[in-house]
Structure 1
Amino acid sequence: MRREIIATESAPRAIGPYSQAVKVGDTVYLSGQIPLEPGTMALVEGDFAAQIRRVFDNLSAVAKAAGGSLDDIVKLNV
């Protein structure tokens, strides 16, 4: 099967030799996220709730770039 690399500037760029997500067929595998601001790559300021919000905003942006949304997630590890 063909693999499609998913990348968006609306989420932090990968900090290593991996992709934000990879799409294989109808399945998308999202990489883990940390609470980084997409534009600056700085850790978000604030409490745990602010960090979690940023992580889910990042995940949402990558899912959207792949043509989906967080509503399409089947499994999520925290």
Structure 2
Amino acid sequence: MKKVINTTDAPAPIGPYNQAIQAGNTIFVSGQIPLHPFTGELVTDNITAATHLVMENIGAILTQAKADFTHIVKSTIFLTNMADFAEVNEVYGSYFEDNFPARETVQVSALPKGVSVEISVIAVKA
């Protein structure tokens, strides 16, 4: 059974998708960009601030699904510049205490709205 997860505490989808879908105990969170959910402003001038906002958006969606960062089993990070990897990695890692999820980080030529980072996750509730 498929359940749609949406919250006003994260940016509304900018296309034909939902913020997340829960299928059984698994939550598939769509890629989040550094878009402020309340002002609609993008954070594009500071990769550290942008990554924090992306992670906060992911956290809000997980909260709506009654989950948190400890439930994440897989992450995908998309960057337009691999030179940002160290800063993104530091921010990303600060949202986990241990038992980090599986992950890949890939460089892409462009991301929606011209942002430099997008992250999607898969979480599993026990």
User: Among the aligned pairs, what percent are the same residue?
Assistant: 39
CA distance in 1, matches of 2:23, 2:42: 30
Deviations 1:14-47 (A, max 9, x none): 0000000000111000000100000122102641
Counterpart position of 2:58: 59
1:55 partner amino acid: V
Aligned residue pairs total: 77
Counterpart position of 2:29: 30
Counterpart position of 2:2: 3
CA distance in 2, matches of 1:45, 1:16: 20
1:16 counterpart = 2:22: no
Please say which structure displays the higher CA radius of gyration.
Answer: 2
CA RMSD of aligned residues (A): 1.0
CA distance in 2, matches of 1:73, 1:25: 15
CA distance in 1, matches of 2:44, 2:14: 19
Structure 1 stretches lacking a partner, 5+ long: none
Report the TM-score when normalising by structure 2: 0.59
Higher strand share: 2
Report the TM-score when normalising by structure 1: 0.94
2:24 partner amino acid: G
CA distance in 2, matches of 1:45, 1:21: 24
Which runs of structure 1 show a deviation greater than 4 angstroms over 4 or more consecutive aligned residues? none
1:41 partner amino acid: G
2:9 partner amino acid: S
Structure 2 stretches lacking a partner, 5+ long: 78-126
